Structure 1
Amino acid sequence: MPISTARVATDRPGRYAKQLAAHMGRKIEASYSEETGRGTLVFTAGTATLEAQPDALLLTVEGERENLPGLEDVVGRHLVRFGARDELLIAWQRDNGEAGLVHRNDDPEA
């Protein structure tokens, strides 16, 4: 299954992963473990995994190729809103070498 990844530099990766999973969990199946620093979001079009690393949040979305932009968009838009004061930059890279979407807090549609 095609994937797209984004490494989001932040000194609070666990906080953002937990917040994203809690927020998305209102509408979809979502989980996050503070113990492992890992989470999952299950959409009808695919899945997203969240991995809190020491200095970044690693995001991976997986789904049919035509669904990747939508998955990147929903995960990226929500995360950039949560991290507005930290000026998070989310730049997706697809496994076929194509650049994916880019989200930042100065984006008027974010």
Structure 2
Amino acid sequence: MIRQTGRFQTAHASKYMRQLCKHFAHKVPAACDKTEGRVQFPFGPATLHASATELQAEITGPDNAALERGRAVIDSHLKTFAFREGFTQMDWAAPTEG
């Protein structure tokens, strides 16, 4: 499995994380509290963490195609939720093995 972490600097991290989890829960298993969230996508799981200044997403998958799909799903939904902040995409680090 490979992992990739994305970061979005925002004072509204908890709000966006809860919106993401609530939205995704209509289609896949998803749960969260104010600071941690988990989403079980068909292509691999995502773990979300909200701090006072940042939303972090870690996606895991069997290959780069799964990570690409995870990035696209998270970024496209955040684009809708965080439009007031001019969000375009998370700052995604390079994938890592493990």
> TM-score scaled by structure 1?
0.80
Question: Do 1:47 and 1:61's aligned partners in 2 also have CA atoms closer than 8 Å?
Answer: yes
* Structure 2 unaligned blocks of 5 or more: none
* 1:50 matched residue in structure 2: 48
Residue 19 of structure 1 and its aligned partner are, at CA, apart by 0.3
- The total of aligned residue pairs comes to 94
* 1:12 matched residue in structure 2: 12
Name the amino acid aligned to 2:68.
Answer: P
Deviates more, 1:81-90 or 1:48-57: 81-90
**Per-residue CA shift, 1:1-44, capped at 9, x if unaligned?**
2011111010010000000000111001011112xx10001011
Deviates more, 1:25-34 or 1:83-92: 83-92
* Structure 1 unaligned blocks of 5 or more: 97-110
1: CA distance, partners of 2:16 / 2:29: 17
* 2:62 matched residue in structure 1: 64
Whose strand proportion is higher, 1 or 2? 1
> TM-score scaled by structure 2?
0.89
**Per-residue CA shift, 1:54-87, capped at 9, x if unaligned?**
2000111001123110111111111111100112
Residue 95 of structure 1 and its aligned partner are, at CA, apart by 2.5
Higher RCO (C-alpha 8 Å, min separation 6) = 2
1: CA distance, partners of 2:94 / 2:31: 24
2: CA distance, partners of 1:8 / 1:91: 6
2: CA distance, partners of 1:60 / 1:94: 12
- Percent of residue pairs identical: 28
Matches within 5 A, 1:1-110: 1-34=1-34, 37-65=35-63, 66-88=65-87, 89-96=89-96
Aligned Cα root-mean-square deviation (Å): 1.1
2: CA distance, partners of 1:94 / 1:71: 14
